[in-house]
């Protein structure tokens, strides 16, 4: 067990995941502050936009921007949740006991979260396309299969961990 605790890669991963969780909380706080700020300062924002992009200077832009910010907030929260589950798994590796039923469940939840992230990204694409279209730029809607591939890998790993935990329990019962 002490081998895991002294592993520099494991220590780095734990520190990085803690940093990412903190950064996501800061980002969520920024978005929470930005949403009402956009609504409170909409006239000033629209006046500034009117000088550069007159086609964008309307209330629909403000609503699209707020929709985009709300979508980003939900996406950041889902990313924090995913990172939190991953950190819990890494913490069990540090204790030397990763093949437990709880980690199988965590991996399954992470897989579903990965799929949810793809769904949450859809409104962001829509609001971004609305803003791009109004500004006269072509809207690029790009769907990635990476998140779905990640979900598949996580579902498979969840089964591996579940099987590993069951095999360990069975082995402990025979000894």
Q: Which residue has the tokens 């009117």?
A: 50
Handedness of CA 38, 114, 15, 98 (dihedral sign): positive
Render each residue's pLDDT in the chain as its tens digit; 175 residues: 445 557 889 999 999 999 999 999 999 999 999 999 999 999 998 898 888 888 778 888 888 889 889 999 999 999 999 999 999 999 999 888 888 999 999 999 999 999 999 998 888 888 888 777 777 777 666 667 888 899 999 999 999 999 988 888 888 777 5
**pTM (2 d.p.):** 0.83
CA-CA distance, 130 to 125, in Å (whole number)? 9
Supply 125's token pair: 């694409």
């Amino acid at each position: 067990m002490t081998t895991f605790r002294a592993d520099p890669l494991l220590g780095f991963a734990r520190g990085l995941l803690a940093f990412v969780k903190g950064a996501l909380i800061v980002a969520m706080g920024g978005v929470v502050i930005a949403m009402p700020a956009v609504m409170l300062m909409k006239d000033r924002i629209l006046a500034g936009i009117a000088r550069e992009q007159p086609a964008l200077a309307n209330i629909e832009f403000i609503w699209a921007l707020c929709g985009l910010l709300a979508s980003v907030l939900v996406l950041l929260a889902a990313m924090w949740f995913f990172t939190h589950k991953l950190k819990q798994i890494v913490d069990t590796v540090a204790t030397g006991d990763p093949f437990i039923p709880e980690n199988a469940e965590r991996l399954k939840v992470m897989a579903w979260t990965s799929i949810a992230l793809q769904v949450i990204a859809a409104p962001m694409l829509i609001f971004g396309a609305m803003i791009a279209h109004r500004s006269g730029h072509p809207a690029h809607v790009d769907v990635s299969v990476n998140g779905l591939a990640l979900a598949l890998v996580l579902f498979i790993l969840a089964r591996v961990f579940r099987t590993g935990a069951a095999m360990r329990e069975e082995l402990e019962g025979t000894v």
